[in-house]
Amino acid sequence: MIPSRIFISTFILILILEPGFRETELQAFHGIMQPAFGARQAGMGGAFQAVGGSVLDLESNPSHLARVKKTKWELGSAIHLPTIEYNDEYTDPNPSRSYKNSTIEHPRAVLPYVGIIKPVTENISIGFALYAQGGGGGQFKNIKRHTPDGRTLNETFGINIPFIGENTNAVEDLNFRFMTMKSTFGAGYKKGNFAIGAGIDLVYGFMELKRTYQDETRSLTIPGGIRYQSDSAYTMGGKIGVSYDLTENIRVAYSYTTRNFLPMDGTMKVDGYAPERSFGTRVSRYMIWPDKHVAGISYRTDKFIIDFDIKYIPWSESFNTSKFRLEDVWMRTPIGVEANAFQFNLNWKNQTILAVGFEYKWNERFMSRMGYSYGNNVIPASGVSPMLGASIEHHLAMGGSISWNDTSFHIACEYGFPKKTYGGKTSDWTLSHAVFSNKEIHPFQFAYNKQMSVFSIYLGMEQNI
C-alpha cells in the first residue's frame, strides 16, 4: 500500500502551485466547463451522475460519498490539447486597405485534481477535493489591422513618421485567460436505498485580458490598447445531491450546484502617452459562474455499468453581458469619445448536455470504458470572439483502469470534434474592427470565423487506505 502521506504531500504541493495555474492556456469545451471531472468519469464521456465511487463525487453528486465504505484518496490531472483556427477578412474598395488573417494555435491546459473520502459511521462519510472547474482563453499575435480609430500614424501621433506615417496599418495582439477553481468539503448520508449529500464550495477565480496595437514594425505602441488584470477573486457556493437505488441494478440521481458571484475588481492600463495613465486605473466588475442541474440513471451488474445523464446550464443568466467600469475616463470609443466604461455583449444561450457512458469489468485487474456527450452550441453569432473558444458540441471518449490490491490507475482519452462558429455583423468583435468614426461604419466589409477541436488525456490514481 502506498502511504497516505503521499496524498498529503501532493495536496500541499498543489496548494502551493495554485497561483501558477494563471499561466495555463484554457479553452472552451461544453461552454467553458470541462466535459468530465476525473479520469474514470472522462472515460465514460462525463456520464457519472448515477454511478459514484469517486472523490470527484464532491464535484458532481456528494450523496455518493455515503456509499464509500473505506477511506479513499485520489489524485490526477486532465491534459487538454486544443487546436484553434481563427480567420478574418476586411474588404475595402481601396485594395491597400484590405487585409486577411488566418492563424492556428495549439495551446495546452493541465488541470489537476486531488481529494479524499473518509467514512465516519456506517451511514455517513465526509470528503474534501480541490479541482479546476473550468475556464476559457486565447492568445493570438500579429493580426493585421487598421489603427483603432482609422487615422494614419502621423495623425495618431501628431508627428511625421518616415515611410509608414501615411498609412493606417497596424498589428493587434490578444491574450485572454479566465479560470475558476473549487475546493469542496462535503458529506453524505445513506439510509436504506436512499442517499443524500451536500457540499460547501470555496471558489477561486481570476481573469486577464490584453488587447494591444502596434505599427507593423512594432516600433510604436498605438493608443487604445487595454491591459486588465483582476484581483484574486474568492466566493462561496454549494451543492446538494440525492440518489436512490430503485432495484439492485438501477439507480437514479439528481444534483444541483449553485451559481457563484465572483468579484473581479482589478487594474487596467490603457495605452497612451499621458503620464497619469502609466500606472493604470482601478476597475469595478463582477462575474457570475452559472448554476447547474444534473439528472442521471444507471444500470449495473457485476460485470458492467451503463449511465445516462442530462445536464442543464442556464448560461444566459450569467453570460449575457460583461461590463467594465473604470475610475477614470480613459476608454476611447471607435467614434472618438472617451468613456469610463465598456461592455462585452456575449448573449450566450442556455445549454442542455446529454451524456452516455459504459464501463466493463474484464476481471479483478482490468476495466475498460467508453462514452459520448453532446451539448448544444451556446455562443450565437453576435457573441463570437477569438477570446473565448468555440463551444464544442460532440465529444467521444474511451479509457480504462488497471488495479491491484487497493490501488487503481485510470487513463482516458477524449476527442472534441471540430466546431466552427461564424461571427455576426452586429457582434462586438465586428463593430470594433469596422467602426472608425461616426461617419466610417463598415460592418459588412468585415467577416470572421473560429474553429476549435480538442484532444484530452486524463490520468488518475486512487487508493483505499
Query: Residue 121 class from Cβ within 10 Å (0-12 exposed, 13-18 middle, 19+ buried)?
Result: exposed
Q: Give Cα separations from 425 to 173, 344, 444 (angstroms).
A: 22, 15, 6
- Tell me the percentage of the chain whose pLDDT exceeds 70: 92
Residue 17 has pLDDT above 60, yes or no: no
pLDDT grade for 277, boundaries at 50, 70 and 90? confident
pLDDT tens across 121-133, in order?
Answer: 999 999 999 999 8
- Using CB atoms within 10 A of its CB, is residue 166 exposed (0-12), middle (13-18) or buried (19+)? exposed
Check residue 150 and give its pLDDT.
83
3-state DSSP percent of the chain in helix, strand and coil, to 5: 15, 55, 30
Going by C-alpha positions, the residue among 282, 280, 263 that lies closest to residue 272 is 280
Q: What does the DSSP 8-state code read for residue 318? A: T
| Whether the model pTM is above 0.85 | yes
The H or E element that residue 450 is part of is strand 446-464
pLDDT tens, 26-38? 444 555 788 999 9
Neighbours of 294 (CB within 10 A): 24
- Which sequence spans correspond to the domains of the chain? 5-464
pLDDT digits 0-9 by tens, 338-367: 888 888 888 999 999 999 999 999 999 999
Rounded distance, CA 81 to CA 453, Å? Answer: 9
What single string gives the DSSP state of each residue in 90-146? E--SSGGG-EEEEEEE---EEEEEEEEEEE-SSSEEEEEEEEEEEEEEEEEEEEEEE
Q: Which fold has domain 5-464?
A: Porin (2.40.160)
The three cell numbers of residue 257 are: 450546484
Instruction: Summarize pLDDT for 218-243 with one digit per residue, the tens.
Output: 989 998 889 999 999 999 999 999 99
Per DSSP, the residues of 221-261 read: EEEEEEEEEEPPEEEEEEEEEEEEESSSSEEEEEEEE--EE
